[in-house]
Amino acid sequence: MTWMSWASYSTAACSEIGRIISERDYSVMHDNTRIDEIATGIYRISTPVPPPVIPGGFTFNQYLIKDDDPLLYHTGPRKMFSLIRTAIESVLPVQSLRYIGFSHFEADECGSLNDFLEVAPGAEPLCSQIAKMVSVDDIALRPAHALGDGENLVLGSHTVRWIDTPHLPHAWECGHLFDTTTSTLFCGDLFTQGGHQHEPLTRDDILDSSEDMRAQLDYFSQTRNVRSLMEKLASTSPSTLACMHGAAWQGDGAKLLRQLAERLAG
């Protein structure tokens, strides 16, 4: 895999990926979306985008928590709505979704937010307080349910916790969700791996592969608070990292997050 082709995109940034894909014909992706349970009651939905569409290939992942109050974390780009809706329906009725959560306000995180709010009449956007104030309550069909830093939300058998991480990896409103029940950290754009062929869940290296990508496409904000913010995430001691791009990962998440912090701060 080479990432040299990424360099041709002078506007290189994660937020641009949604724009790139929205301008391209992704009919090649039909029927390739898969859904796999990666932790108890947590499903990874993944759509591979092959090299003809995005240089080097890429994946867009969403996560579905099946519970009394089902939660979809990230919607995918708007033009993938039907693919992701179909995947969800293989596990639960889409209209039963209660929360549509996302790390920060970008197309691949929440491009289909209103589409899901339309088909799931009981659903609310779930995001940070800053996201609600700055973007979501203006854009979304219904007001957001905002979570403060460290605030828990009970879904049924799962309890999730919001962790504010402004500008990590990017966006003022950025944060990450942690499932306290399965010790799964929905780590969004952290550990973004290129390529379009990944196992749903791996124990293999994702640090070096994501760092290879960052070397070509630095999507981090360079926040001076990187060490303290990464330590907030590491202190949850996750056993599963639910990555938004690439494979989900299983292992000593605190150790891996601290290793990434060293790379970022170094």
The CA angle 117-70-178, to the nearest 5 degrees, is: 105
Least distance CB 192 / Fe ion (angstroms) = 7
Other CB atoms within 10 A of residue 7 CB: 12
Residue 14 makes contact with Fe ion by CB under 5 A: yes
Residue nearest to Fe ion (CB): 14
Least distance CB 189 / Fe ion (angstroms) = 4
Residue type, 75: T
Contact 149, 229 (CB under 8 A): no
Residue type, 211: E
Least distance CB 66 / Fe ion (angstroms) = 23
Per-residue binding letters, 156-195, with Fe ion (x by CB under 5 A): ---------------------------------x------
CA 194 and chain centroid, separation: 14
Per-residue binding letters, 78-107, with Fe ion (x by CB under 5 A): ----------------------------x-
Least distance CB 241 / Fe ion (angstroms) = 14
Q: Give 103 or 236: the residue with its C-beta nearer to Fe ion.
A: 103
21, 53, 244, 256: residue in contact with Fe ion (rule CB under 5 A) = 244
The one segment of 14-22, 25-33, 44-52, 130-138 that binds Fe ion by CB under 5 A: 14-22
Residue 108 makes contact with Fe ion by CB under 5 A: yes
φ, ψ dihedrals at 254, nearest 5°: -60, -45
Residue 257 makes contact with Fe ion by CB under 5 A: no
Instruction: Report the Cα–Cα distance between both ends of the chain, in Å, rounded.
Output: 25
Q: How far apart are alpha carbons 94 and 162 in whole angstroms?
A: 23
Exposure of 203 by Cβ count < 10 A (0-12 exposed, 13-18 middle, 19+ buried)?
exposed
Give the C-alpha distances (Å, rounded to integers) separating 169 from 22, 42, 85, 104, 203: 22, 23, 27, 10, 23
Q: Give 108 or 173: the residue with its C-beta nearer to Fe ion.
A: 108
Q: Give 168 or 244: the residue with its C-beta nearer to Fe ion.
A: 244
Interface ranges with Fe ion (CB under 5 A) = 14, 106, 108, 189, 244
